[in-house]
Amino acid sequence: MCGIVGYVGSKNALQVVVEGLEKLEYRGYDSAGVAYVTEDKKVSLSRAQGKLSALKELLYKSQSNTHAILGIGHTRWATHGKPSEENAHPHVAGRVSLIHNGIIENYVELRSELLKKGAKFFSETDTEVAAHLLNDYLTQGLSPLEALKKTCERVRGSYAFVAIDSENPDRMLIAKTATPIVVGIGEGEMIVASDIPAILPHTKQVKILEDGDIAEVTKDKISFFHDGKPVERKTITITWDAVTAQKGGFKHFMLKEIHDQITASSDALRGRILGEGISIPEVGLDFSSFNRIVITACGTAWHAGLVAKFFFESIAKIPTEVDYASEFRYRVPVLDSNTLAIAISQSGETADTLGAIEIAKKSSKTLAVCNVVGSSLTRKTDATIYTQAGPEVSVASTKAFTTQLLTVLLLALKMGEARKVFSDVNKVLKDMQHVPSAIQSSIHNEGKIEELAKQIHTARDVIFLGRGINFPIALEGALKLKEISYIHAEGYPSGEIKHGPLALIDEKVPVVIILHKSDQLLEKSISNLREVEARGGRVIAVTDADLPDEIKSLCEGVIEVPHISEFLSPVLMTIPLQLLAYHVAVLNGTDVDLPRNLAKSVTVE
Ligand code: AGP
């Protein structure tokens, strides 16, 4: 997500804001900007595409001696509209300069309403509509807080707003729903930020806004309101150091991003499930024109492609192939205009995936499922659907993977609906709404998983087993473990264990087996569990089924996740495997976020 910093007080607000944004750089961004009030009470704006250094250079050239008494700054991770100076925040409308983290789901309708009233837009962002709304209410004579309250009532989605009203340049207007804002309380100064690290150099006393809060912040006072009534928010003392704060208090970015999946899963669906239907207007392909799908990707994204195959074949009834991009690009794939080629990639910069899509483009329509707005892949394909997971810092992909699964499931449902071959769309959509809370319940197993990690972290080999839609999750669990703990691990279809891998099994080899309740092959999977246990294998079961005690007694550990429909079980079964890999790696003392020999994005062949 983006970074927000605002300051009012006796220090140079420009310097505080820019230094604060530098402390949030780890969050990933593609442009930056500041709005600031100089001592003559004038509001100025500076924005630049690219890294903060571009903004600093711009400021140095134009404002090197400027002392600002108030300032708001933003580093943007593009969600609506490509990375550019015009799309960078703050956005200005009349007397309002506004920055925003989050997604405004109804910005299209708000934008057309404002255009009809003569508003002029200069960006492709959803944020700009909020600046216009606030300005409209202020120019109608509402007080700043009343105008902010009205603005928040019109906006649907997630937001952290920080704004300056040029008629009241001694205060910041802030509002929050579903996207964090924290206020640091200083002596004669206040600092507002999306994240603690920007605040720590100034104060450890903070107040955290709750969903639905709005507030007015001057250098000496914060006035909180909720549902139009004044409220108090308690002050808490931050005990983290700066490095820990960057990880939101977690020891590693990977653990933070595993926990982030609770919010990332709702962000992936945000704005896409409206009432009775699915809304993915940005894809703009005629789904009924395809009679075949080929999916190309690498690593974890390839595992998402294997799950997507189940979705497209069982929901959209379209034959689907999945190919490693590094293989696809060098074989002579048979494609035609009725084939849809889908590339799945978190970074959108993976060389093999880019090479594969170049091949596909020659004869097929192409679609990217990607997390990085404006990345190379998204500029090559005919259409893109973004997974909206926010920046993923750790090399091991976690929230990017589960949001890929949710995104391709939405695509399959949309195609099944367009081809009139799937009647349970609304049932699956209803189930999808439960995913964030189900992920939260899955994560509650962390203590038990940490204990299991102690039992297996010295193993030389670990086998992961899964059937059907969860076979790719066995592959993903194995990849997670090997790439961060350096323990050799393999994933197999449970039914394959007896065709060779069983020879590997003895008391030194832990076997992690996924048992999904509504998998009509549950009984066969339980037989596979018995086969392993009978040969001394140490079984860890990951299941949403209520296993009989007799089966549980065969296991070294049983990790229970909530039951959810089969299409969504891969999302939930992945969580314990991510946590298991993480805790094993921590026990083995590896560099969890930057494993040896690996890169976050493999931009070379
Ligand atoms: C997964 O944990 C790895 N980091 C790696 O396999 C990754 O999924 C692969 O390199 C593909 O990256 P992409 O999604 O950015 O294309």
Tens-place pLDDT, residues 222-259: 999 999 999 999 898 887 777 777 788 899 999 999 99
pLDDT at 275: 72
pLDDT at 308: 98
Who wins on pLDDT, 234 or 559?
559
Query: Is the pLDDT at 334 greater than 60, yes or no?
Result: yes
pLDDT at 521: 83
Ligand 1 atom at shortest distance from the alpha carbon of 601: 15
- 495: CB partners within 8 A, 6+ apart: 467, 521, 524, 528
- Percent of the chain at pLDDT exceeding 90: 80
Who wins on pLDDT, 249 or 380?
380
Structure tokens at 384: 């893109």
Q: Which residue has the tokens 């609770």?
A: 262
What is the set of active-site residues?
A: 2, 600
Determine the number of helices (DSSP H) and then strands (DSSP E) in the chain: 20, 27
Ligand 1 atom at shortest distance from the alpha carbon of 350: 16
CA–centroid distance, residue 600 to ligand 1 (Å): 7
pLDDT in tens, 441-452: 999 999 999 999
562-590 mean pLDDT: 96
Query: Is the pLDDT at 549 greater than 90, yes or no?
Result: yes
pLDDT band at 408 (very low <50, low <70, confident <90, very high): very high
pLDDT at 321: 97
pTM of the model: 0.81
Q: Could you tell me the CA-to-CA distances from 21 to 18, 74, 98, 141, 430 in Å, in that order?
A: 5, 7, 16, 33, 39
Bridge pairing between strands 31-38 and 43-49: antiparallel
Query: Is the pLDDT at 1 greater than 60, yes or no?
Result: no
208-226 mean pLDDT: 95
- Percent of the chain at pLDDT exceeding 70: 99
Average pLDDT along the chain: 93
pLDDT band at 407 (very low <50, low <70, confident <90, very high): very high
- 439: CB partners within 8 A, 6+ apart: 261, 262, 265, 402, 571, 572, 575
Ligand 1 atom at shortest distance from the alpha carbon of 483: 2
pLDDT at 241: 76
CA–centroid distance, residue 299 to ligand 1 (Å): 5
pLDDT in tens, 171-201: 999 999 988 899 999 999 999 999 888 999 9
pLDDT at 29: 82
81-86 mean pLDDT: 88
Q: Which residues line the pocket of ligand 1, CB cutoff 6 A?
A: 298-301, 345-347, 350, 353, 395-397, 483, 601-602
pLDDT at 562: 94
